[in-house]
Amino acid sequence: MKNLKGKTAFVTGASSGIGLAFAHALAEMGMNIILTARSTEKLNQEANIISKKFRVKTYVVACDLSQKETPDKLYQFVRENQLSVDLLINNAGFGKWGNFLEETIPTYENMLEVNINAVVKLSHLFLPEMLAKGEGGIINVASTGAFQPCPYIATYAASKAFVLSFSEALYGEYYKRGITVTALCPGNTATGFQEVAGADTSKMYAESAETVAKEGIQAFIQGQNCKVNGMGNNLQSLIPKFLPRKMVIKIVEKMMNKRVNAQ
């Protein structure tokens, strides 16, 4: 899908960070935007800014994707407003840094509901109409953490490995039918994610959310199955393929341990 003007994008986690950057970048290209996140006030504020700045239509629906029924409610919102989603951006997600046992089971359940189940459900709900039109697509935000085991963010990284594999599998199933599914794999990005995760990334280079989103959109337009942001992150994603698995685990553990214990 190369021409986005006049079409509609559905963006999760759209109130800040990469999700908000996606909303702005797509609106600048002429897309109407459905924004969803938990904060109604923040969503309304950003939707007003986008609609006035780019002269596109915006729609707001506040929700919590950690609730199992939320994807169905979002789909119902789209149907009730007689909208047609051409591009789904599964951006919402969160993680926690620290020893695996330091977090509770409910925290991990919520994380997996947002990072995995919501991605699967929303993809399953919106793909049929795209297939009927013969065009459309999905950008799923994964992470460079998807390419190797990551001690101290074990569950988060594993959830992003799922997103990467799931996205590329869907790409394989549907690209011949006019549907592009792109896995976007950013590294450290300047968003509010780090604060929620309890991560000390102050000494790490951080890409801007705007750059990450724009590169993701360009990769999607070009029909790419996977996009890793930045030369350094590309190199990082390739190195584990050439090293013994145990060595990779030990290297990543050493890197992550420094950041966890710096708290």
So which residues are the catalytic ones?
A: 156
DSSP code for 93: -
Between CA 62 and CA 119 the distance in angstroms is 17
* Cα torsion 253, 16, 43, 82: sign: negative
Beta strands in the chain (DSSP E): 8-12, 32-37, 58-62, 87-90, 136-141, 179-185, 189-190, 207-208, 226-228
Closest CA to 92 of 168, 173, 196: 196
231 CA to centre of own chain: 20
